[in-house]
Amino acid sequence: MIGATTSGELRTHNRVRLLRAVHDCGAARTRSQLTRDLRLARGTASVLVAGLAEDELLHEEPAREHARGRPTQVPGPHPRGPLALAVDVREDAWELAACELGGRTTVLDLQPHDGTPEGVLGPLGEAIAGHRRRLGHRVVGVGVALAGPVRHGGLVDIAHLGWRSVDVPRLLGVEAEPIVGNDTAFAALAEARRGRLRGVRVGLHLHVDFDLGGVLVVEGRPLGGASGTGAEFGHMPLTGGDRLCPCGAIGCWGMDVGANALLRHVGLAYGGGRGRAQAEQVLATSEEAVAANARALGRGIAALVNAHDPEVVTLSGHGVELSERAGKVLMDSCGPGLMAIRRDQPPRIEGSALVWRGALLGAMESVFDAFLTPEGLETWRENHPDQARDTPERRNVTHSTLKGARPL
């Protein structure tokens, strides 16, 4: 039961479902497949697709391969359709991309930064404003991933850079109204939507950059915690170390996994979001440093598996290369840490197919989650000059969705 009580509500409901399905499948399924998936009548699907094309929300292309008979159409993003601006702010640089419905992503800007809140967010805010002006009504939202705990409302702490309660939305500029989130939580969301946690009921995602972040993903949702700062498995004392972490705690797991730990292992300077190129060099050349990282990673994973019983553990960022280069070391370190009852069927540990794109794609997903709603589509129509001159019948249908009885 969907609870839509008027034909207008039903139409809006089906528009959202269809756009959602196109987005989630990466614009890869044909109209007839989607019609079956969503249990729509063929005629209903035709009318829906035509209406969405008219509103510049969808555009159909012939399928590349199709069986004999009528060519099959594949609904995908409209060339003048909605765009999510997604940003991945790492400790040393930020990357800004425009993302279409379906998830196709075009990187627009990649800039190093000095690590200060003003030095990061001032130029980034200007870049966002510039792209919004250029792209106009097509930009339906901005999602920003940051490498630290993010409280609801966008207050951010990045211990490695000395950020305490930085008001990210304010420093980006009021016009941006961004959805701000933690990079690991966004990477986990992307993994759940279009990576190796898709369809997984309980998964554990770990994102390794300068240090390590981790979050439990349940039914496709990363657990955000009461204040939004939940994705912090990296700040648990899982490896028995006694170093003081910049976060203020002692012996954090993240001190032993990631670029900073690699640099420290070979005696190079580390911290403050510097040294990415040297760390990549260490990762590519120092078996010993890689093994030490992989051992610490495996040991911590065992502890989290004991606690949470995930089906799959996914690794993004440097975690992919660590598991490829030192998979055996990782597993040998993980195994003895598992409770006996976990050893018969230990969870799979897999590198993410999204590698470094997860945080950016998760930021995109959060924007489209807000857009792919009756309210989001209504705002799109209101912002479309062409749609304002719609036929009277269509306008009535639209208005009836606003005024009709509330769904039960």
Least Å from the CB of residue 167 to Zn ion: 22
Least Å from the CB of residue 130 to Zn ion: 36
Separation of alpha carbons 123 and 246, rounded Å: 26
Nearer to Zn ion, 81 or 149 (CB): 149
Nearer to Zn ion, 42 or 243 (CB): 243
Token representation of residue 92:
């040393």
Please give the residue ranges that form the binding site for Zn ion (CB under 5 A).
235, 245, 247, 249, 252
Least Å from the CB of residue 138 to Zn ion: 40
Strands of 24-114, DSSP E: 58-62, 73-77, 83-89, 93-100, 105-112
Least Å from the CB of residue 344 to Zn ion: 33
Phi/psi of residue 33, nearest 5 degrees: -65, -45
Least Å from the CB of residue 235 to Zn ion: 4
Least Å from the CB of residue 356 to Zn ion: 23
Nearer to Zn ion, 212 or 245 (CB): 245
Least Å from the CB of residue 397 to Zn ion: 54
Separation of alpha carbons 63 and 75, rounded Å: 9
DSSP 8-class letter at 206? E
| Cβ atoms 177, 142 nearer than 8 A | yes
Least Å from the CB of residue 108 to Zn ion: 33
Nearer to Zn ion, 123 or 246 (CB): 246
Separation of alpha carbons 205 and 209, rounded Å: 13
Nearer to Zn ion, 18 or 185 (CB): 185
Nearest to 319 by CA among 303, 300, 297: 297
Separation of alpha carbons 136 and 352, rounded Å: 34
Nearest to 76 by CA among 136, 137, 25, 16: 25
- The strand pair at 179-182 and 139-146 is best described as parallel
Nearer to Zn ion, 151 or 394 (CB): 151
| Cβ atoms 208, 317 nearer than 8 A | yes
Least Å from the CB of residue 84 to Zn ion: 31
DSSP 8-class letter at 358? H
DSSP 8-class letter at 354? T
Angle at 13 between CA 376 and CA 381, to 5 degrees: 35
Tell me which amino acid residue 66 is: H
Least Å from the CB of residue 245 to Zn ion: 3
Phi/psi of residue 112, nearest 5 degrees: -70, 160
Nearer to Zn ion, 11 or 207 (CB): 207
Phi/psi of residue 226, nearest 5 degrees: -65, -35
* 78 dihedral zone (left: phi>0; alpha: psi -120 to 50; beta): beta
Nearer to Zn ion, 50 or 244 (CB): 244
Nearer to Zn ion, 220 or 251 (CB): 251
Nearest to 159 by CA among 241, 235, 233, 225: 235
| Cβ atoms 203, 310 nearer than 8 A | yes
Nearer to Zn ion, 169 or 258 (CB): 258
